[in-house]
Amino acid sequence: MLARGIAALSTREPGGSLGAEEIRGLLVSGAPGRWDPLAEALLHFAARREHVASTIRPALDKGTWVICDRFTDSTMAYQGYAQGVGRETIERLEQTVLGDLRPALTIVLDLPVEAGLHREHAAGGKDRYARFGIEFHRKVREAFLDIAKREPKRCAVVDSTRSVDVVAADVFHIVDQRLLPARAAAR
């Protein structure tokens, strides 16, 4: 975003701050069935709370845009939908932990499950989520698509079967269309 004169911070979840990175280690290591689904969701929200308090909120307070690889929608998809915790429980946790903090834009990079798992393994992906079965990952994909369908003003789905350059161009176009006009109006 620097090319557009916008200060931006890139971060990730789980992680993004010292305490959240420590919780990340618990979440991404070990066997797929390591955690009860609700306990796992609670760990994600504990990491998220620390991440928001230590990294995201201070950046936003300075007027810096925050680009986060994953956020609450991932917990909704993985634990809420695929692991059966449920939408309502995740929504209540989100409200408790984040209040009214929500992303202005969520980009869902979509591709068939088999292609995503192939890319993950080719990149050396060995975290416990990569070891969940294919049916689990199909549920996760459908969950993300359902979230995007429920919230089309916030979410955009990008076909990620195409080249990195084409996908990146689509992402920049979406940002230009959805976020830059709001930024201009706020000035």
pLDDT digits (tens, 9 = 90+) for 58-106: 999 999 999 999 999 999 999 999 999 999 999 999 999 999 999 999 9
- Measured CA to CA in angstroms, residue 169 lies from 120, 125, 150, 163 at distances of 22, 25, 25, 10
Structure confidence at residue 87 (pLDDT): 98
* Percent of the chain whose pLDDT exceeds 70: 94
Domain ranges for the chain, please list them: 2-186
Cα gap 159→164, rounded to integer Å: 11
Cis ω on the peptide bond leading into residue 32 (within 30° of 0)?
A: no
Structure confidence at residue 123 (pLDDT): 77
Among 58-67, 164-173, 178-187, the range scoring the smallest mean pLDDT is 178-187
pLDDT digits (tens, 9 = 90+) for 137-154: 999 999 999 999 999 999
Helices (H), 86-187: 87-98, 113-122, 134-150, 164-178, 180-186
Cα angle value 56/170/154 (rounded, 5°): 45
Cα gap 131→15, rounded to integer Å: 20
Give the class (CATH, top level) of 2-186: alpha beta
* Percent of the chain whose pLDDT exceeds 90: 82
By the 8 A CB rule, do 113 and 162 touch? no
